Each structure stands twice: as structure tokens, then as C-alpha cells.
Amino acid sequence: MASTTVYYLTVMDWKEHITIDPAICHGKACIKGTRIPVSVVLDNLAANINPEEILWAYPSLTLEAIMAALAYAADLAGERVLPLSA
């Protein structure tokens, strides 16, 4: 009989790591305590840059902040549907 693997998802509270302040980066979502926009972290991940390289390039980041950026993006993606052409 084949075994079944069950994965449990632990949802990170991205609000602990991300802030939106109109006085910082024109109100874009940023990693708390930095001026690094979440979009920069996500763009790097989308470009297949591994988290270790991102941490090297942005020493003020933490692995938790990178994971929070992903959790933030996941929340945003769940909020709306973008039409895609066939």
C-alpha cells in the first residue's frame, strides 16, 4: 500500500515584517526597518535568485523577511483574479 504524505501549511503573519508608510518609498510595501520594497524581494525571487544571494545583496534583510514577502504576495494573489488571455 502506498503511503500518503500530508503537508501542513503554517501561515506566516507577514504583518510582523512588512509595513506600508506613505512617508517611506511613496507608500509601497517595504520590509520593516528598511527602505527595501517587497517588490524588490519578489522580483529577485522571480528571477531565480536564491534567498542566500538576496541576503548577501541586502544585509539588512532576514530569511523571515523574505518569507514574509512571499506570504504577502500570496495574500494579494488570493484577493483578486487577473484575466489571462487564452
Q: Are strands 18-20 and 29-31 parallel, antiparallel or unpaired?
A: antiparallel
Domain count, the chain: 1
Q: Look at residue 29 in the predicted model and tell me its pLDDT.
A: 97
Instruction: Name the pLDDT band for 12 (thresholds 50, 70, 90).
Output: confident
| pTM higher than 0.75 | yes
Q: Which domain holds residue 50?
A: 32-79
| Residue at 20 is within a domain | no
Whether 8 shows a pLDDT value over 80: the answer reads no
Residue 66 is assigned to a structural domain of this protein: yes
**pLDDT tens string 21-38:** 999 999 999 999 999 999
C-alpha Rg value of the chain to the nearest Å: 16
Give me the DSSP letters along 30-86. Answer: EETTS--BHHHHHHHHHTT--HHHHHHH-TT--HHHHHHHHHHHHHHHHH-------
Are the beta carbons of 18 and 27 closer than 8 angstroms?
no
